[in-house]
Structure 1
Amino acid sequence: MCGFSGCLNFNQPNYCSLDVLKSMGSMLENRGPDDENIYQDSSLSFVFRRLSIVDLSGGAQPIWDSEGRYWVAVNGEIYNHKELKEQYFPTINFATQSDSEIVLHLYKKLGPEAFSKLNGMFAVCIYDSHSQTLTLARDRLGIKPLYYSSHDKGFHFSSELKALLIHPDVSKTINWQDSQVIGLQDNEIIPTYVEGVRHFPAGHYVEIAQDMKIEITPFWNIKAYLTEDKEQQLNENEIEQQYLALLKQSVNYRLMSDVPVGIFLSGGLDSSILAALAVEQNPDIHCFTVVESNTCRSGDVDNAKLVCDKLNINFHPILFDRTEMIERFNLYELERMIHVMESPRFDLEWYYKSELHRAAKNIVPELKVILLGQGADEFAGGYSRTLTSPWQNWEEYISGEVAPSLKERQIHQHHVPERFQDLIDAIPDDLSITNAYKKKMHALCYQLQHFNLWHEDRTSSFHGIESRVPYLDHRLVEFLSTVPSEFHESLFWNKTLIRKTVKELMNFYPDDHAKVPFFLSDDNTSIDQVAKLICKNVYDEFEEKYLVSNKSYFSQSSLRNLFEQSQQNNPESSGCAWQLIEIMSLVIFEDFIKRTESFVKTTRSAQQPIYPEISVDQWSSTIDQLKKGNETDFQNQWSMDSIVAIPEHCEIVNPLSEEDGNTVLILLLRKKN
């Protein structure tokens, strides 16, 4: 993992001063703490920060060709670099052992076709110093970030928004249109929330010569694999075996490292498979597991320990007291998360994941690589049946979940204000995809970039860790996209394909373990209750800093009223706390983009204590206590009496019972027969 940033201008020599370039580089320090290199000529100014993972001593970037004409810089990893070298350059001695060097040679040989040969996650910058042509490319699924801004004064690009914002010619104006469609997550255009700044699209490249003509061109699109004419001619058993073979190779690729590697092992299916496959190749792998009340009650923690015990894996259970975490949450932590995420959005999962990375780094300071289970659900039926899902079979899932969400997208496309039409038009046109679940896959491909990939990259890189996602190897995604529709129910319902993979690798793993979210609300820590406590901890300080001391678009009296309403215990106050958090996040984000450098310098360090690893001696007593739910309870405000009505013709699937005055908040409903 690395980070880079640059400016291109053919009309104004030294357009980007060395001081500005160094400041841009300083914004990338967390992403690349080990090394910095700067390149400048009359047209291009470029800074590169490196996190050394492969070829620690010889992999400095940019990497030049032997003629001194071309150089390459890569943020990310090219996993198949050895195979590509053997295939295309068997007699050439490379200057380094770095996986990045293959991109330079391959591009010189094949041109832009080179990008379709790469297996990896990458944002690539290639420069021809003779013709002064700049080439940028981004991996197929948008795993690695790349921002750009183009205007009459020049072209700017960067791995992070904060580095881009340092340049005086990049807009510091919030994009209010982006901020009003935050929930629209199947849109090809991923919002940056800043006027004139865009994400470089995944699976695309651009070559910019002295005419400054910018034509961003695709080299990959998942849609090509979702049409019926691309379906495989395999039987069910062959599909299962090929899936496992591809997954094994994907995991092996992502163990490529000269530094310690870890796995975030939730104890669920996806991460347990990764652990089982990874330890075959790397017996020194480290597994980190969140231990708190819900992960104990769901069985995830027991499963994680079982996997590590059976496979003899280094196990690091980390105690998360969520009540204590939220009680300590203050304005500084909210500001820090806006800095980390470079977004006006706030989500509890992002905060917890950032804290998990911080704790893992504290336990294993040399840790630089983490394997994650992201992407398994999106393409293998992962959301068809979960712990809180009411669907009883594949048909119910398609009719009750998939079809309505597709219909909602059509409504968005045709019934929105005109000012949002550009964003709505970017919702993928998937009319050529006739199967409902494949349409869902298409949408989920973009939702990954909006949410999961966004936060996984940023929460890890902030702590100097590179996150890798084996389930998003493009060959796996393409393979699952071409599974014939006739096998969807037998392989994708309740993640059957993945469950069969688990059984082949770990026959000791419990049958039918339900999917559990990373953050699962319960009666003690319901999401509304958490939001209320965050507002209580943050609002007074926020008001003084951002509303009293500074001008704001928002009325101080109106927000004070919203805050007071958010603290009420009545149905009318539901959602007020999250609305207030969204507004506070937006105000803080605007401050972040207007004074980026000073904002970043003051929010780089966490104030929270490091969450402890549970020792062997503490294990039994700690787990037993958490399973009983002996955490400090939030004040309950709901009871069974609070349920006014349920939809007509529906019934409660899980009858609720009150224990110790507490009541489960989630009702599962289904249509009466």
Structure 2
Amino acid sequence: MCGLAGLFSKNGEIGSEIEPILRTMGNQIAYRGPDDEQIFINAQFGAVFRRLSIVDVAGGRQPLFNEDGSLMLMVNGEIYNHHDLKSRLKEQHQFRTQSDCEIILHLYEEKGENFLDDLNGMFALVLWDKRKQRLILARDRLGIKPLYYTESNQRLLFGSEIKALLAYPDCPREFDWVEALSYQHQRMYPDDFLPSFFKDINYLPAGSLLIADAPANNITVKRYWSLPDEDYALDTRTEQEIIAGYGELLADSVKLRLMADVEVGLFLSGGIDSVSVAALASPFQKLHTFSVLSQSTFQNGDARAGHIAAKHLDMPNHQILYSWHDNPFTPEHWKSLLWLCETPLCNAEHLYKYHLHRYAKHLRPALKVILLGQGSDEFNGGYSVNYVKDYRPDLNEEERNWSTFINIFGDFEKDALISGANTNLAQYGGVLTKGFLASGSRQTHYRHPWLYYVNMHLQSLQMYNLWHEDRTAAGNSIENRVPFLDHRLVEYTMKIPPQKYEALFWDKAILRRAMQDRLPLELSQRPKCPFFYGEDVRYTRRMLYNLLRADDSALIREAFFEADGLPFDRQAIEGLITDIPEEPEYSLLESLLPLVNMGLLAKMAQAPVSQHHADSIGLLPEIRIENWEEQADNLALQLAIRREKAELLDRMVALKPGTRLLKFDQISEDSAYSYISVNDKIEYELSEAEMKDWLAVLRRIDGKRSINEIISELGMPASKIRKHLEEALDYGIVSFLDEPTPKT
């Protein structure tokens, strides 16, 4: 993880007067590279580099130069196969450092614009060719490392983050409301361009290079890599042979990403992806692992699985507590996080990941690298089951299968094709072929819906997952590494014959089967869980809503009511804010939060740019866990309790007047619900599966007994129902009839 920024002048040389501006641009991203700063100016080109020292800590200072100094290179990232590439060079070259990135200079000398073809790594690089007066910007194949650019007054500006560009006096800084309001990363079409959310600031796509040629006075962007799309129907390998090859490649990818002269750690969610990385890294290093312990990850089992996996692999595991109701998060902290991330998509995931990095850095100051399980779902079918559940909830378990998943993505592709130039054909869309629609819109028509899935997620990866992983790590001076995004591994999965898609990509079978001999069945076959979405997502939403309303709704006021020219209907916004807590799931928060972010970002871009300071944000606590099963009840109570008095459980309790619990309703084979009515109007729907214990208690509340008496009768610990009791009190479902009984 490093940071770079600079400019290229199309109308003449720049001089030393540009140095203070370059230094200011570098200062905005100083956290990306706290170990060193270097400025380089030559002819029409100038740049600043901030280094995070990971490989060749003492000698790998950048920029790097070739033997005669005619080439200058700055790289944010790592080249994992640099030793192998050195042995394959055709000519004799003098290497001045042990840096993994120096190989790029000599590949360019030998191969010209094809110098990126052999690199295995993640990178955003800047190469200045003095002789040809040519600037090259490039990103790695999957877009792991970010790079932005814009043209301003005959100057090309570039930087690792948008804020570095905004530090340049003439940089465009208008927020792109239309792009932000219309963007949906969950359904990003493969042919969509990558927005920066700021007008005239461009996000260089993955697998692309930009060439600025001074003599020709032109700038071109071209792709040097894209996902393979060939027909491999003649492939005769068996499923087991394909799985074995995949496992070998993944193991090699993990091993390569341990390359560092500093400490490496790992984020362990408990899912098959991060657990696989941990298992494959364990023979080489005993990594410290870090997990999120929140109401959501406790309920969905992620935190428990992370603990179990770390224990199985004999790795230290640190469970970081995220209390939705008792935390140090303030409006100013949210603004700092939002400005760090630079995206209206900033949400609880950014907050969780930022504080996980923050704690890791606090606990292990020498740690500079974190391994992630990111990128597996996108190319191994990790979202397949969830798509079917989300888009076809009417189906039973038997009907939720690969065929349904493929039909869903066939429909997604057609929706994409009936857009833009084809919008006027929508009325005939049902009878038109995809090939015809593609030819009319200049969009890609994929030979199989699976290919649409992976190409869609390649775009989404860059705009969401990789974007926030990069920023939340960078803000704590840490580099993230993603073994699943080794391009060899991605290309391997893309070359699997279509007739084996179902066997290998439904529910991520290729990875589960590759790891089944390395992990207990409990971990290798554990179903995928959303990070914080799912049964208890309402607690995360309540946390964010409380943050928006903190300090007299400071964030809301600043976003909507303290600026002119915003596209919002203020009365409608006020109605949305009021409506959110009326519904226990707080689902409307998903609509409000991005709008708040947009209003804040639009204002931040116009104001003087300030730096991000990690030390100004509070540190979350770690919960020490020796034995999960023994501590589970206490953990559940610790996450749930907000009303401190334990006497709540000892008081006689009744349903509030006018409130009734109605009998359950069997909606389908696997879903049943009970309902709570208030004054003869159904207000709440309770899932029998998710709230079985609480419903058992509700059915016994009669105004004559306490909660403790009821749960004693049921043989149930308070931890099973405490969070629901708190919510029932919040929403006035139950009330207490007497004073608490004094303890003797």
Normalising by the smaller structure, the TM-score range is: 0.7 to 0.9
Assess, with a 3 A threshold, how the Cα gap between structure 1 residues 315 and 228 changes in structure 2: closer, same or farther.
Answer: same
- Distance in structure 2 (CA, Å) of the matches to 1:128 and 1:45: 12
2:496 matched residue in structure 1: 483
Q: Which amino acid aligns with 1:455?
A: H
CA distance in structure 2 between the aligned counterparts of 1:155 and 1:444, rounded to whole angstroms: 30
Matched, 1:376 2:373: no
Counterpart pick for 1:403 among 405, 410, 421: 410
How far is the alpha carbon of 1:312 from its aligned partner?
1.9
Shift of 1:618: 8.7
What letter matches 1:117 in structure 2?
D
For 1:394, give the aligned amino acid: N
| Aligned counterpart, 1:611 | 620
Query: What secondary structure sits across from 2:623 in the alignment?
Result: coil
From 422, 444, 460, the equivalent of 1:430 is 444
SS of structure 2 residue aligned to 1:33: coil
Number of the residue aligned with 2:593: 581
For 1:266 and 1:134, the matched residues in 2 are separated by: 41
Q: 1:308 to 1:7 in 2, by over 3 A?
A: same
Task: Single out whichever of 151-160 and 368-377 deviates more from structure 2.
Answer: 151-160
Superposition RMSD on alpha carbons, in Å? Answer: 3.4
Give the CA deviation at 1:305: 2.6
Contact residue 344 and residue 597 of structure 2 kept, 8 A: yes
Q: Alpha-carbon deviation of 1:89?
A: 5.6
The residue that corresponds to 1:669 in the other structure is: none
**Partner Cα separation in structure 2 for residue 365 and residue 241 of structure 1:** 38
The answer to whether the 8 A contact 1:539-1:563 is kept is no
Give CA-to-partner distance per residue, 1:553-579, whole Å, 9 cap, x none: 2568526623552345159x9754433
Q: Secondary structure of the equivalent of 1:322?
A: coil
Matched residue SS, 2:198: coil
2:365 aligned residue:
365
8 Å CA contact 2:57, 2:261 repeated in 1: yes
Contact 1:428–1:443, Cα closer than 8 Å, also in 2: no
Query: Is the Cα–Cα contact under 8 Å of residues 543 and 556 in structure 1 kept in the other structure?
Result: no
* 238-247 vs 122-131, greater mean Cα deviation: 122-131
User: Residue deviations 1:306-357, cap 9 Å, x none?
Assistant: 32223222322222223324xx543212211221211223221111111111
**Mapping of 1:283-362 within 5 angstroms?**
283=286, 285-325=287-327, 328-362=328-362
> What is the aligned partner in structure 2 of residue 593 from structure 1?
605
| Shift in Å, 1:156 | 0.9
Letter in structure 2 aligned against 1:659:
D
Paired residues for 1:483-522 under 5 Å: 483-507=496-520, 509-510=522-523, 512-522=525-535
Instruction: Return the letter of the residue paired with 2:181.
Output: Q
* 1:173 aligned partner: 174
Say whether residues 1:214 and 2:219 are aligned partners: yes
Is the 2:324–2:540 Cα contact (8 Å) retained in structure 1?
no
1: distance between equivalents of 2:165 and 2:233? Answer: 40
Contact persistence 2:549–2:555 (CA under 8 A) = no
Contact 2:5-2:160 within 8 A present in 1 as well? yes
Which residue identity is paired with 2:613? R
- 2:671 is matched with 652
Amino acid at match of 1:609: G
1:262-305 deviation per Cα after TM superposition (whole angstroms, max 9, x unaligned): 1101111111110111111223x221122233333433333323
Of the structure 1 ranges 340-349 and 239-248, higher mean CA displacement relative to structure 2 is found in 340-349
The CA distance in 1 between the partners of 2:565 and 2:552, in whole Å, is 15
Cα 1:176/1:236, change in 2 over 3 Å = same
**2:560–2:570 contact (8 Å) kept in structure 1:** no
Are the equivalent residues in 1 in contact too, given 2:323–2:639 (CA < 8 A)?
no
**Pairwise CA distance, 1:236:** 0.8
- Does the 8 Å contact 1:39/1:45 carry over to 2? yes
Give the CA deviation at 1:134: 0.8
Q: Is the 8 A contact 2:64 2:73 kept in 1?
A: yes
Q: Secondary structure at the match of 1:116?
A: coil
Deviations 1:360-414 (A, max 9, x none): 1111111111111011111111112259666645335425643343333234446
What is the CA–CA distance in structure 2 between the aligned matches of 1:204 and 1:560, rounded to whole Å? 40
Contact (CA 8 Å) 2:208, 2:225: kept in 1 or not?
yes
1:605 Cα offset (Å): 3.7
Q: Classify 1:612/1:91 alpha carbon distance in 2 versus 1 (closer, same or farther; 3 Å).
A: same
CA displacement at 1:150 relative to structure 2: 2.1
Compared CA separation, residues 302 and 526, structure 1 to 2 (3 A)? closer
- 1:528 shift after superposition: 4.9
Shift, 1:232, TM fit: 3.9
Task: Give yes or no for contact 2:38–2:62 (8 Å, CA) kept in 1.
Answer: yes
Aligned residue for 1:216, secondary structure, equals strand
1:45: which partner in 2?
A: 46
Measured at CA, do residues 427 and 172 of structure 1 come closer, stay the same or move farther in structure 2, by a change above 3 Å? farther
Which letter does structure 1 place at the counterpart of 2:497? P
Provide the C-alpha distance between the structure 2 equivalents of 1:425 and 1:376, rounded to a whole number of angstroms.
32
Residues 476 and 614, structure 2, Cα contact 8 Å, conserved in 1: no
1:268 aligns with 2:271: yes
Aligned to 1:27: 28
Match of 2:538, as an amino acid?
T
2:553 is aligned with 1:551: no
Q: Does 1:237 align with 2:240?
A: yes
In 1, distance between residues paired with 2:251 and 2:2?
26
Q: Using the alignment, how far apart are the partners of 1:181 and 1:386 within structure 2? A: 24
Q: How far did residue 189 of structure 1 move?
A: 1.2
Using the TM superposition, give the Cα deviation of residue 628 of structure 1 relative to its aligned residue in structure 2, in angstroms. 6.1
What is the CA-CA distance between 1:228 and the residue it aligns to? 1.8
How far residue 537 of structure 1 moved from its aligned partner, in angstroms, is 2.2
The one-letter amino acid of 2:624's match is S
Return the letter of the residue paired with 1:104.
Answer: L
Q: The residue matched to 2:209 in structure 1 has which SS? A: strand
* Residues 369, 479 of structure 2: 8 Å contact kept: yes
Q: For the Cα contact (< 8 Å) 1:145–1:160, is it kept in 2?
A: yes
**Superposed displacement of residue 498, structure 1:** 1.2
Which range moves more in the overlay, 520-529 or 468-477? 520-529
Structure-2 separation of matches of 1:383 and 1:567: 29
- Alignment-mate amino acid for residue 228 of structure 1: D
Q: CA deviation at 1:415?
A: 6.8
1:472 and 1:398 map into 2 onto residues whose CA distance is 23
Q: Which has the larger radius of gyration?
A: 2
Percent identical residues? 31
- Secondary structure at 1:356's aligned position in 2? helix
**In 2, distance between residues paired with 1:270 and 1:413?**
37
Q: Aligned AA for 2:635?
A: L
Conserved 8 A contact 1:559-1:580: no
What does residue 450 of structure 1 align with? 463
Which AA in structure 2 matches 1:586? M
**1:420 alignment counterpart:** none
- For 2:73 and 2:513, the matched residues in 1 are separated by 42
Partner of 2:681: none
Trace 1:119-198 onto structure 2 (pairs within 5 A).
119-183=120-184, 185-187=188-190, 188-198=192-202
d(CA) in 2 for partners of 1:596, 1:317:
38
- Structure-2 change in CA distance of 1:519 and 1:11 (3 Å): same
- 1:210-266 Cα deviation digits (max 9, x unpaired): 1221121211111xx233258744211110110011101111111110000011011
- Residue segments in structure 1 that go unaligned for 5+ positions in a row: 418-423, 666-673
My pick for the range that moved more, 473-482 or 532-541, is 532-541
> How far apart are residue 101 of structure 1 and its match?
0.2
* One-letter code aligned to 1:403: G
Contact 1:230 1:482 in 2 (8 A): no
- 2:205 aligned with 1:201: yes
Say how many residue pairs are matched: 646
Letter aligned with residue 346 of structure 1: C
CA, structure 1 residues 548+243, in 2 after alignment: closer, same or farther (shift >3 Å)? Answer: closer
* Letter aligned with residue 631 of structure 1: A
Counterpart for residue 671 of structure 1: none
Aligned equivalents of 1:570 and 1:492: distance in 2?
37
Q: Partners in 2 of 1:168 and 1:438 — Cα distance?
A: 43
